Structure 1
Amino acid sequence: MDAAEYALQQLTTWPDLSPGPPSCDVGRALVAGSNEIVHIHSARSADVHLTATVIRRMRGELERSHELRLQGDSPWVTIRIESPSGARLLFTLTSLALHAHARREGDPVPAAPCSAAAGSPPAAM
C-alpha cells in the first residue's frame, strides 16, 4: 500500500469526512458537508483546501516545507505524500482545513480549483 492509499484509508475513518466525487474529476475526494477538503490525485500527491485565510496566516511556515507547494492565490495546497512524513503533514493540514471550514473561514463558493483542475500536474513537485 502506497502512502497516498494509506492516508486515504486513514482519513475516511475521520467522522467529519466522507468520500465524494472531486470537482476536478481527477482521483478521489473527501468532503465535509458541502466543502471539498482533500483531493487525492495520484499515488504521490494530494491537494488540501486550507482556505485563503489559513494560507495567509501560515504562509511563511507553509513555504518552508519541502513536501508542500502553494499555488499562487489558490486556497488549495499540494502535498507530496511519498513517505510517512508526507502522510502526517496531510493529516495535520486536513485537520486545519476542517477547523477553518467549520469556523466559516471558508472561501466564497465556488472555491478556486485545485491543482488538477487548474491545469497543474498533480504529481509534479
Structure 2
Amino acid sequence: MAATLCPSWDCNAPYLTQAVTNLKTWPSLTVTPARNGVSFITSGQKILHLSGGNPAHLHLTQPMIDRLDPTLRHYRQVGPSADHGWVSIRVESSSDLRLLLTLISLAIKANT
C-alpha cells in the first residue's frame, strides 16, 4: 500500500517504510499524497513530509526547536531545514526511526 502513496520517492527505504506504516495507525495523523512524496497532517497542519527517501522533514515549530536545541545538537541525524520551524532528520537505523517517532509526537503537541 505504501507504494501507492509515494510513487515518486523511495518507498523501499526500510526505516521510512516502517515509519509510514506506523504513522498511518496514529489517530491524530492523516496521511496524504504530496508532490514528490507523502505528508502527514494533524489539526489541519502539515507536520511531516517524506520525499526522496531521506531526510524526513518535520515541523517542530520554532519554539519547540529552541526548547530542544541543547538536546538536538547531540544528534547528527537532525539538522536545520530551509523552512522556518522545520528540521531535517536522516533515518538510517532503528534508533533513528525511534528518534523520528519521538519527535513526531512532540510535533503533534506543538502544532495542536
- TM-score, with length taken from structure 1: 0.73
The 1-side partners of 2:69 and 2:55 are apart by: 20
Report the alpha carbon displacement of residue 21 of structure 1 after superposing the two structures with TM: 4.0
Structure 1 spans left out of the alignment, 5+ residues: 103-125
Give the letter for the 2:28 counterpart: D
- Residue aligned with 1:14, SS: coil
Aligned to 2:28: 16
Show the 5 A alignment for 1:1-125.
2-22=14-34, 25-71=35-81, 74-102=84-112
Change (3 A) 1:58 1:26: same
The 2-side partners of 1:79 and 1:57 are apart by: 17
Give the letter for the 1:13 counterpart: T
Q: Deviations over 1:16-75 (max 9, x none)?
A: 0011244xx231101012100111113232111000110111112112211111236721
Q: Is the 8 A contact 1:29 1:36 kept in 2?
A: yes
- TM-score, with length taken from structure 2: 0.81
Q: Is the 8 A contact 1:37 1:49 kept in 2?
A: yes
Give the letter for the 2:32 counterpart: G
Aligned length: 100
**Higher alpha-carbon deviation: 38-47 or 11-20:** 38-47
**Higher alpha-carbon deviation: 88-97 or 32-41:** 32-41
